Amino acid sequence: MSDQINSSRRDFLKTGTTAALAAGLTTQLNSAVHAQGTDKLKVGLVGVGGRGSGAAVQALTADQHTELHAVADAFEDRLEAGLANMKATPVGDRVNVDADHKFVGFDAYKKVIESCDVVLLATPPHFRPMQLRAAVEAGKHVFVEKPVGVDGPGIRSVLETCKLAEEKGLSIVSGLCWRYHPGMRATFEQIHEGTAGEITALQCSYNSGGVWDPRATREECSSEMEYQMRNWYYYAWLSGDFNTEQHVHSLDKMAWAMLDETPKSVSGTGGRIQRTDPKYGNIYDHFNVVYEYESGVKAFARCRHFSGSTNDVSDHIFCTKGRVDVFKHRIYDWNGEIVWKYKGPSGNMYQIEHDEFFASIRDGKPINNGHYMSMSSMMAIAGRMSAYTGKQLSWEDCMNSTLDLSPESYEWGDIPTRPVSIPGQTQFS
């Protein structure tokens, strides 16, 4: 990555921020900020894939006075497939996207933001900082899928944008959906009330068989950019690697337990051992990361995409009086007796986050999940940077990282591929 690219993105972020903050003080609030109970809200979706389509249906379900009005995707086939899926749902009659409101390409999000009151961002994570910035500058409420960035400059940009959203009275609801899960909320309340005592250590695992295989071959794509975009999961610049894209859910629960205190240092290891074919881009298939807090408490985080191996997706918190099995919503004492368990409904966290999102817009009581969604995403990025370089890193190192994974330009052509990182050789920046 050339210095020119880095500096031009930095300049954009810097001037963008100054302008945005100034705008925040002077811009009249968009009328949708205080939408009345039955005013129709036009919802726009950016990234019409699996999660985006689900989020749009949940948005329409959350509030009867909404319609899906505009959509954007990098690819027309993905956009049409997503729309057809959404039309086939019980809220399909409010999927009212005419031909003039279907936008395709890298800049398509700008048109959606222009024409809607509420914006749902569900592209691959790379695009989140720039799209969130544009939506908030335009005065729109935003649902923001996780993770919210793939590198330090991206996370710093999101933090600034979320401050701007606060000044403008806009809601920012995060797709870190476990924070909206009733059983999880009750469990973390118990943790914070001290039912299990003081936290001494945390452990989270996201060991699974992996996700979808590349969706298109190089022969089927007209350019390397198209190949990488269609197979975004396998490229760190787009997904942040799988410890960021997926494991952020687990790390976010560790952060939640720690009342969102940030760790003081991170030390990680990882590599790729099953997914070595070049078709799998440049991401790893396993990570082991230790986060250390100021008090000496450590969080042990592991994630893995291996087929033919034992899966384990679980979170455990070890405390002075006992331990918490987070997914089971149970607290045990050190004799193995259950001292607390959740007995309420499980609920649909994906629906609840949209119910609360739209209620916040209607009531004029904005929700702003900006800080934790940024810090939990940064925890994941920090773990990746430590594993890629083989270095123990301080939190300050990570927050100030200048590594910018953006491509030189967003065009359908050749694009260089960063080599797979090698600890001890790949440099931290």
Distance CA 173, CA 361 (A): 11
Residue 141 near ligand NAD by CB under 6 A: no
Q: Which is nearer to ligand NAD, 76 or 312 (CB)?
A: 76
Q: From start to end of 184-232, where are the E strands?
A: 199-208
Q: Which is nearer to ligand NAD, 78 or 168 (CB)?
A: 78
CB atoms within 10 A of CB 131: 24
Q: How far is the CB of 277 from ligand NAD (least distance, A)?
A: 20
Sheet holding 172-174, edge to edge: 102-104, 66-73, 41-46, 118-121, 141-144, 172-174
Phi then psi dihedrals of residue 102, to 5 deg: -110, 120
Q: Which is nearer to ligand NAD, 58 or 265 (CB)?
A: 58
Q: Tally the residues of the chain.
A: 429
Q: Which is nearer to ligand NAD, 105 or 197 (CB)?
A: 105
Query: How many residues of this chain bind ligand NAD (CB under 6 A)?
Result: 26
Q: How far is the CB of 248 from ligand NAD (least distance, A)?
A: 8
Q: Which is nearer to ligand NAD, 78 or 253 (CB)?
A: 78
Which of 63, 67, 73, 160: binder of ligand NAD (CB under 6 A)?
73
Which of 127, 284, 357, 388: binder of ligand NAD (CB under 6 A)?
127
CB burial readout 30-54, b (16+ within 10 A) else e: bebbebeeeeebbbbbbbbbebbbb
Contact predicate 140/119, CB 8 Å: yes
Q: Given the rule CB under 6 A, which of 30-38, 43-51, 184-192, 288-296 is the region that contacts ligand NAD?
A: 43-51
Contact predicate 335/324, CB 8 Å: no
Which of 146, 168, 247, 323: binder of ligand NAD (CB under 6 A)?
146
Distance CA 163, CA 154 (A): 15
Which of 33, 41, 43, 46: binder of ligand NAD (CB under 6 A)?
46
Nearest Cα to 172, choosing from 368, 375, 326, 395?
A: 368
Distance CA 211, CA 233 (A): 9
Q: How far is the CB of 32 from ligand NAD (least distance, A)?
A: 22
Residue 175 near ligand NAD by CB under 6 A: yes
Phi then psi dihedrals of residue 387, to 5 deg: -65, -40
Residue 226 near ligand NAD by CB under 6 A: no
| 196: region left, alpha or beta (phi > 0 left; psi from -120 to 50 alpha) | alpha
Place of tokens 């943790």: 191
Residue 122 near ligand NAD by CB under 6 A: yes
Helix (H, G, I), strand (E, B) or coil at 286: strand
Which of 16, 24, 44, 125: binder of ligand NAD (CB under 6 A)?
125
Residue 132 near ligand NAD by CB under 6 A: no
Which of 42, 78, 253, 384: binder of ligand NAD (CB under 6 A)?
78
Residue 355 near ligand NAD by CB under 6 A: no
Q: How far is the CB of 178 from ligand NAD (least distance, A)?
A: 9
Q: Which of residues 102-121 bind ligand NAD (CB under 6 A)?
A: 106, 108-109
Provide the pairing of β-strand 66-73 with 199-208: unpaired
**Positive/negative CA dihedral, 244, 260, 332, 288:** positive
Q: Which is nearer to ligand NAD, 190 or 231 (CB)?
A: 231
Q: How far is the CB of 127 from ligand NAD (least distance, A)?
A: 4
Which of 48, 57, 59, 120: binder of ligand NAD (CB under 6 A)?
48
Q: How far is the CB of 347 from ligand NAD (least distance, A)?
A: 15
Nearest Cα to 175, choosing from 305, 297, 318, 351?
A: 351
Distance CA 262, CA 360 (A): 28
- List Cβ neighbours of 350 (8 Å cut-off, separation of 6 or more): 54, 55, 58, 177
Residue 51 near ligand NAD by CB under 6 A: yes
Q: How far is the CB of 111 from ligand NAD (least distance, A)?
A: 11
Q: How far is the CB of 289 from ligand NAD (least distance, A)?
A: 18
Q: Which is nearer to ligand NAD, 125 or 322 (CB)?
A: 125
Which of 35, 136, 158, 177: binder of ligand NAD (CB under 6 A)?
177
Which of 70, 72, 83, 255: binder of ligand NAD (CB under 6 A)?
72
Q: What residue ranges bind ligand NAD (CB under 6 A)?
A: 46-52, 72-75, 78, 106, 108-109, 122-125, 127, 145-146, 175, 177, 229, 245
